[in-house]
Amino acid sequence: MRVLHLALSAAAALALSTTLASAQSSPGTLVSNTIDLSYSSGGTTITQSSAATATFTVDRKIDLNVDGLNGGSTVYAQQAANDAVLSYVVQNLGNDTQGFDVTVDSSGTLGLTYATTAGAEGTYWVVISNNAIPGAGTETLYDVTATRNAGNLPPGGRYWVHVYANIATTATSGQARTFTVTATALNAGSNTIATELRNQGLNGIDTVFADPGTDGFEAASESLQVNAPVLSATKGVAVISENLDGTFACATGSPVVGAQAAIPGACLEYTITVNNGAGATQTATDLTITDQLPAGVSYVAHDKGTFTSVSLSGTTLTAMVSTLPAGANASFTIRATVGN
């Protein structure tokens, strides 16, 4: 009987025949690692194919990201603006097709009410889009009041959440509202929230949360702030001359010291001033004041002062300022006589 002595030298070769899992392999993918063994004996190379094999099944990784497209900064909108918008992206970073529920929470001093339909003043609504630019893609109105799938995303897929708002005409400068968009992982094709499943062994399929919070949901916040002028107006009246003898030139005459009686024939001067407060976040443009003179006085003249223009039609004066920056004011005057 021949006894075979096996001598394995340090140079004996272990050749690997391996099937490696590629990046983002799908759950359930079987990954097999097999080695072939070869050695020398009696001047002959002897090979053992598939000397050992290890296998495992790729598990399900749930990973996602939600980002505001403005980097968490503030978006500014004008008073009474239509379709002011905040935009967010939802990304599926996992290795399986994934559904996502989207919720939107908001808080702040800017009065906006959530609506499931679009367009009303003082409301905001939510759409899911296939484009980062509002209005540029296919947008689907989305109801955030219940758990519902906003759409399945394949691994690496994304869609955008646009929060539109119609700012009320009564909104004031500096009012703001913060919107937080949260995406929660759902089982694909359903409204069922995904849950972790572990300890299924190497041949089973675990479900593992791999997002930063390891909880299956992510959120991002952006703020919407109103830019508006802060306008106030005053109208004062002073007696320029009592005009006792009826000779005072009311249109051009200088104020008479001590004049205070608004008797018939007296010359009056109205001063109208409009101010854009120092706290305003926007220049007022095309500002118009309409002033109808009251019964009992007769128009004599006006001076446009620091207004852009003042015009008279009948007993009504229309005054306009083209621009009035924050902290600035403008005034004009009207001369009139008390009716005899």
Residue 7 has pLDDT above 70, yes or no: no
What is the residue extent of each domain of the chain? Answer: 14-58, 61-227, 231-338
How many angstroms separate the CA atoms of 204 and 193, rounded?
A: 21
- Closest by Cα among 316, 239, 249 to 271: 239
Domain 231-338 part of CATH 2.60.40.1170: yes
283 close to 329: Cβ distance less than 8 angstroms: no
Domains 61-227 and 231-338 share a fold: yes
Look at domain 61-227 and name its CATH class: mainly beta
How many angstroms separate the CA atoms of 290 and 233, rounded?
A: 12
How many angstroms separate the CA atoms of 337 and 233, rounded?
A: 23
Q: What percent of the chain lies above the pLDDT cut of 90? A: 89
284 close to 320: Cβ distance less than 8 angstroms: no
pLDDT (0 to 100) of residue 18: 28
Q: Is 192 strand, coil or helix?
A: coil
How does residue 82 score in pLDDT terms, banded at 50, 70 and 90? very high
Q: Beta strand pairing status for 113-114 and 231-241?
A: unpaired
Q: What is the pLDDT of residues 295-309, one digit of tens each?
A: 999 999 999 999 999
123 residue type, one letter: T
How does residue 23 score in pLDDT terms, banded at 50, 70 and 90? low
Virtual CA dihedral for 151, 153, 158, 159, nearest 10 degrees? -10
Across 297-325, b (16+ Cβ under 10 Å) vs e yields: beebebebeebbebeeeeeebebbbeebe
185 close to 194: Cβ distance less than 8 angstroms: yes
Q: What is the pLDDT of residues 118-165, one digit of tens each?
A: 999 999 999 999 999 999 999 999 999 999 999 999 999 999 999 999
How many angstroms separate the CA atoms of 285 and 340, rounded?
A: 40
Residues 6+ apart with CB under 8 A from 258: none
Residue 195 has pLDDT above 50, yes or no: yes
Residue 9 has pLDDT above 80, yes or no: no
- Per-residue pLDDT averaged across 62-79, rounded? 92
Q: Beta strand pairing status for 139-141 and 158-165?
A: unpaired
Residues in the chain: 340
